[in-house]
Amino acid sequence: MKTISVLDTSICSSNLGDQIIMDAVNSILYEMFPDRLFINFPTHDVISSDSYRLMSKSSLILVGGTNLLSSNMNSYNQWKVSLMDSLFITDITLMGVGWWQYQNQPNLYTKTLYKRLLSKKYLHSVRDSYTEKQLKSIGINNVINTACPTMWKLTEEHCVQIPKCKAESVLVTFTEYNQNPSFDKQLVELLKQEYKLIYYWTQQPKDYQYMKDICGEAAIYLNPSLSALDMALSQYAVDYVGTRLHAGIRALQYKRRSLILSVDNRATEISKDTNLPVVQRDDLNSVANWINAKEQTLVKIPLTAINEWKKQFLATVNNY
């Protein structure tokens, strides 16, 4: 049986957003390669000798999404790979991967590592223009901007089914590693005025207590699981307003109005390229205007780039 190796960003991760990413990645790959056996490996933990062996026998090695790349892999690396790993695994292809933060050009260690790890044969899919620019700055030019795989099915036909007017209730998220109680308290007060019910979803462990401190018992707290989020989005008439990028995209997948409050480069850069509904988290006027506006969600998906990335494997992988 022919195999494909998937470096899975949800393994050994406390961030449920990585499950949203990998749900999309896996769904797309199963459609592309229905006759393959997929083997998943962690990105957030070190790679074992058994993993080296299994990857070496695969026809393709892909790494799925999230903000894995950084400019200083010798000092900060969500993706737990090293130069030692690059002696055993090479020819890895990116699928909708992003850059960790706004940073300087990658240093020499990072440049060497990426050039040894990443495929020279296949086009790499990245999720925003900033990530594309960072890779090209170190001579990795076989890169195209496809947006995040979680967005690949947010076509025009899908988006026209998203309501134009506000719902009765709202689903909220906050981000444990980027908190701003002053602005977030003001946001919660605004949402109390505009909506009958506030639902809150915990994406990382510390999110829950943060919302409890701000909102107390005024919110309905969903269980901290992707299935609980999906249940709420499918069964409740809600808008989404929150700082969690992929929870917001999940809401769009379920055809719910969504406004993502940007706290770093990720949502901001993706929005520049795709018109994803994003405002800065401290821009309460824009939040209030969006809640009461009557407008269509129009996400612009780079379908040409997505199809180019998919089609490159047809002649090679399927014959391996």
* Per-residue confidence in pLDDT tens, the chain, 320 aa: 799 999 999 999 999 999 999 999 999 999 999 999 999 999 999 999 999 999 999 999 999 988 899 999 998 888 999 999 999 998 999 999 999 888 899 999 999 999 999 999 999 999 999 999 999 999 999 999 999 999 999 999 999 999 999 999 999 999 988 889 999 999 999 999 999 999 999 999 999 999 999 999 999 999 999 999 999 999 999 999 999 999 999 999 999 999 999 988 888 999 999 999 999 998 999 999 999 999 999 999 999 999 999 999 986 766 55
The pLDDT assigned to 266 comes to 84
Length of the chain: 320
Side chain identity at residue 161, one-letter code: Q
State the Rg of the chain over Cα.
20
Instruction: Tell me which residue of 18, 63, 59, 23 sits closest to 266, measured CA to CA.
Output: 18
What integer pLDDT is reported at residue 52 of this predicted model? 93
> Which DSSP string corresponds to the chain?
--EEEEEETTTT-S-THHHHHHHHHHHHHHHH-TTPEEEEEESSSPPPHHHHHHHHT-S-EEEE-SS-B-S-TTT--SS---TTGGGT---EEEEEE-BSSS--S--HHHHHHHHHHB-SSSPEEESSHHHHHHHHTTT---EEE---GGGTT--HHHHTTS-SS--SEEEEE--TTS--HHHHHHHHHHHHHH-SEEEE--SSTTHHHHHHHHHGGGSEEPPSSHHHHHHHHHHS-EEEEES-HHHHHHHHHTT--EEEEE-SHHHHHHHHHH---EEETT-HHHHHHHHH----------HHHHHHHHHTTTTTGGG-
pLDDT of residue 160: 97
Residues β-bridged to residue 125: 95, 144
Nearest to 261 by CA among 178, 163, 146: 178
Residues 266, 279: Cα–Cα separation, whole Å: 12
What is the rounded CA–CA span in Å between residue 152 and residue 155?
7
What pLDDT was estimated at residue 317? 64
CA–CA separation, 49 vs 179, rounded Å? 39
Whether the CB-CB separation of 205 and 213 falls below 8 Å is answered with: no
